[in-house]
Amino acid sequence: MRVAILAGGLGTRLAEETEIRPKPMVEIGGKPILWHIMRHYDRYGFKEFVIALGYKGDHIRRFFRDYHTNASNLRIDLSRGVAEAHGSGPTEEWMIELIETGHDTNTGGRLARLAPYLSDTTFMLTWGDGVSNIDLDALLAFHRSHGRLATVTAVHPPPRFGQVEIEDHRVVEYSSRPLQSAWINGAFFVLEPGIFDYIDGDSTQWEKEPMEHLAKDGELMAYKHEGFWQCMDTVRDKVLLEDLWRSGTAPWMTWR
């Protein structure tokens, strides 16, 4: 089964980082967040990836093109201009398709452009900017159990603010611990090829009309994930993920 990853967006809310590289290449613990996401899929045996490129996609191309060399020892013969990698090298056994999907293409359009590379069978989809400890085996089992076209992982966004209960302008209760928020789209989809019928073209945003129409047609189911989930939309999010990584207790490190 292949995993599609959308990695072509502009990442405008993380402009401090994305002025020089695409958001999926922003590093956590010295590795791009895209690598962290792929390692989590690898942990569950998913090793074939189709990645949609767009904004500054050349950075992602270079990273994977040079991956083996950068992870290995090098023997360089300057007289012949030859460099040979040797030693243990990388441990990942990944097959990766890097597909150019356009600078301004929307999420649905990018997904549609990946269709020829997804083998006309069930596939997984996620964004290149969020990590989780989701049980991918359980997610896939849930998808197969209901027989619909699409499964979205529903998560609770990390709470940030205290809860204030007000009556006639008077605070009657305050809690520094926020209440549990509503379920939101956490990505980590499992999809059938029939979803492509819901995408009109490059300007289609997957999270709007396609998902709305799938829900209306009874073809969208939600897998509820109560565990860790965190997107990287802002510098604050990046700092949080870095702190978790340095602590050695990052919940998404399922491969350790």
Nearest Cα residue to 133 out of 44, 229, 255, 43: 229
pLDDT of res. 88: 73
The number of residues making up the chain comes to: 256
CB neighbours of residue 113 within 10 Å: 21
CB of 40 within 8 A of CB of 31? no
Percentage of residues in the chain with pLDDT exceeding 90? 71
One DSSP character per residue, 172-224 reads EEEESSPPP---EE---EEE-GGGGGG--STT--TTTHHHHHHHHTT-EEEEE
Residue 178 is predicted with a pLDDT of: 55
- Look up residue 252 and give its DSSP letter: T
pLDDT of residue 177: 59
pLDDT digits (tens, 9 = 90+) for 158-212: 766 666 677 776 766 766 555 566 899 999 999 999 999 999 999 999 999 999 9
Q: What is the pLDDT of residue 154?
A: 96
Q: Where along the chain do its domains lie?
A: 2-156+183-247
User: Beta strands 95-100 and 48-53: pairing type?
Assistant: parallel
Q: 217 pLDDT exceeds 70?
A: yes
- Give 43-73 pLDDT, tens digit per residue: 999 999 999 999 999 999 999 999 988 888 8
- Phi (first) and psi of residue 234, to 5 degrees: -135, 170
Q: Which residue has the tokens 């209960």?
A: 165
Buried b (16+ CB within 10 A) or exposed e, 60-98: beebbeebeeeeeeeeeeeeeeeeeeeeeeeeeebebeb
Q: How many CB atoms lie within 10 A of CB 166?
A: 10
Minimum mean pLDDT range among 18-27, 52-61, 115-124: 18-27
The pLDDT tens digits for 81-90 are 888 887 777 7
- CATH topology classification for 2-156+183-247: Spore Coat Polysaccharide Biosynthesis Protein SpsA; Chain A (3.90.550)
Q: Indicate if the pLDDT at residue 127 is higher than 80.
A: yes
- Residues 134-159 have a mean pLDDT of 94
pTM above 0.85, yes or no: yes
